[in-house]
């Protein structure tokens, strides 16, 4: 049994994204108010990381065997909040969630694996609600920005039309030019090769993680146009993950609104006919189509051709490595959400993130963990009941405030009108 106690524990700290999260937390303005621990499989690598990052002498180091549940539980029990970066998550991280749910330890991770998320919802949501453990998967760039953009639009519409339901919501994602980390590539390939084939059919269901199913299906597209704008898009590489998290947020809020035992008039509700879709921003319809064709061709080649996967394993980025950071990287998520009405109201929310997808993951996961640690009284009623939740269903306005205060996130929300087709910068 480990005797040390820490407020925030980063599991998988020596990986590419884990290191970024440790750096972010170590330099956080509230650093003198919480104790920090780093954990992984190799004590030597953890000690090297501590020296490399010049971590404070009070940062605790934990080495543990990920294949031993007793050791996993022992490490988890040292923490108030766990940030998990150990992937592929379907392969390694179920025991970590199990230990958090069983011991009432709050948890966030950076996974983008909806099939695994379904497993932990089915396996540990009930136990987490009993112990009041708040479990928030997908707290990185998968899928905080998408969840946030919809939430901000819905909140604005609720101010204008308190009783209105949302109809369509579409987000266009603009990413800086950057590559994948070795961990991300390894997860993609390992998922294709090792996840049982019978599970993959679930990945085609947008609301597979939602406690409420939406009968309104969003048709498959290759090209998008945000309503009442000149913003076009093609297939979003992260869209199939993000949509499932957004739909789980919708389903959790909808289920609570429909429950007489938990009815909360102050909670945001998207409405029964909510539809979400996402695209990668493109310069025009043609470039959007070309991108979609290129992406689908590449995805099929990776999925069906073992030589392609072999080549990527040999010559692609290796585990622990990732894209170089550069100043001025910007991510932009532009969302248009409309009420479900004959003459609908439309809101456009543009969220700007100062950083690339991996550096922003450090911000999202770090602030989510600190919200759980410091701001429990400000969390949503759903969060206070525990369970496997989503970033916005659990953290809501508290996460919005923290992200704005970080100086790395800003947003603008404005009404849209049918003839307003001006390009948004």
pLDDT score for 1:
47
3 or 275: whose pLDDT is higher?
275
Tokens of 71: 């050791």
pLDDT score for 382:
94
H helix intervals, 27-105? 43-52, 69-76, 89-92, 94-103
pLDDT score for 41:
94
Q: For all residues of the chain together, what is the average pLDDT?
A: 91
Tokens of 302: 């990776």
Q: Considering only 60-69, 296-305, 371-380, which range has the smallest mean pLDDT? A: 296-305
- Only one residue has tokens 């308190």, namely 162
Q: Are 270 and 253 in contact (CB under 8 A)?
A: yes
> CA-based Rg of the chain, rounded to a whole angstrom?
21
On the question of pLDDT at 49 being above 60, the answer is yes
Per-residue pLDDT averaged across 157-174, rounded?
90
pLDDT score for 44:
95
Residue 389 to residue 382: CA distance in whole angstroms:
8
Q: Considering only 9-13, 30-34, 420-424, which range has the smallest mean pLDDT? A: 420-424
Model pLDDT for residues 384-397, shown as the tens digit of each residue? 999 999 999 999 99
Q: Are 226 and 172 in contact (CB under 8 A)?
A: yes
Per-residue pLDDT averaged across 133-139, rounded?
98
Q: Looking at beta carbons, which pairs linking 200-205 to residues 24 or more positions away fall under 8 Å?
A: 200/115, 202/114, 202/115, 202/118, 203/114, 203/115, 203/240
pLDDT score for 419:
64
Model pLDDT for residues 90-105, shown as the tens digit of each residue? 999 999 999 999 999 9
pLDDT score for 423:
45
CB atoms within 10 A of CB 330: 13
- H or E, element range at 83: strand 79-84
Per-residue pLDDT averaged across 51-65, rounded?
95
Residue 290 to residue 292: CA distance in whole angstroms:
5
Model pLDDT for residues 367-379, shown as the tens digit of each residue? 999 999 999 999 9
């Amino acid at each position: 049994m480990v005797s040390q106690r820490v407020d925030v524990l980063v599991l998988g700290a020596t990986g590419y994204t884990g290191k970024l999260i440790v750096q972010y937390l170590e330099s956080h303005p509230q650093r003198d108010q919480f104790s920090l621990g780093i954990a992984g499989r190799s004590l030597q690598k953890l000690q090297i990381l501590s020296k490399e990052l010049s971590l404070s002498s009070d940062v605790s180091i934990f080495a543990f065997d990920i294949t031993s549940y007793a050791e996993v539980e022992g490490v988890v029990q040292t923490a108030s909040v766990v940030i998990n970066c150990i992937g592929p998550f379907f392969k390694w991280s179920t025991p970590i969630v199990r230990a958090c749910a069983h011991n009432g330890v709050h948890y966030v991770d950076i996974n983008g694996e909806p099939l695994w998320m379904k497993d932990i919802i089915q396996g540990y949501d009930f136990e987490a609600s009993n112990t009041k453990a708040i479990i928030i998967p997908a707290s990185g760039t998968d899928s905080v920005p998408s969840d946030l953009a919809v939430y901000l639009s819905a909140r604005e519409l609720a101010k204008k039309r308190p009783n209105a339901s949302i109809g369509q919501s579409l987000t266009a994602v603009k990413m800086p030019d950057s590559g994948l980390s070795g961990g991300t590539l390894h997860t993609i390939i390992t998922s294709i090769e090792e996840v049982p084939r019978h599970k993959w059919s679930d990945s085609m269901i947008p609301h597979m993680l939602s406690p409420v199913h939406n009968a309104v299906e969003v048709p498959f597209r290759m090209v998008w146009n945000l309503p009442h704008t000149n913003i076009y898009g093609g297939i979003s590489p992260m869209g199939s993950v993000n949509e499932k998290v957004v739909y789980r947020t919708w389903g959790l809020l909808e289920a609570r609104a429909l429950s007489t035992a938990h009815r909360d008039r102050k909670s945001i509700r998207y409405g029964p006919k909510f539809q979400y879709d996402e695209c990668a921003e493109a310069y025009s319809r043609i470039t959007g189509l070309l991108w979609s064709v290129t992406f689908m061709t590449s995805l099929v080649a990776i999925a069906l051709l073992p030589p392609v996967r072999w080549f990527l394993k040999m010559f692609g980025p290796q585990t622990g490595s990732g894209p170089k950071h550069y100043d001025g990287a910007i991510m932009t998520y532009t969302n248009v959400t409309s009420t479900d009405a004959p003459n609908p109201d439309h809101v456009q929310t543009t969220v700007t993130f100062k950083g690339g997808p991996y550096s922003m993951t450090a911000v999202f996961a770090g602030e989510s963990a600190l919200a759980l640690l410091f701001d429990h009284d400000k969390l949503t009623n759903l969060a206070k009941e525990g369970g496997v939740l989503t970033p916005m269903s659990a953290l809501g306005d508290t996460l919005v405030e923290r992200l704005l205060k970080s100086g790395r996130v800003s947003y603008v929300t404005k009404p849209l009108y049918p003839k307003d087709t001006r390009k948004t910068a």
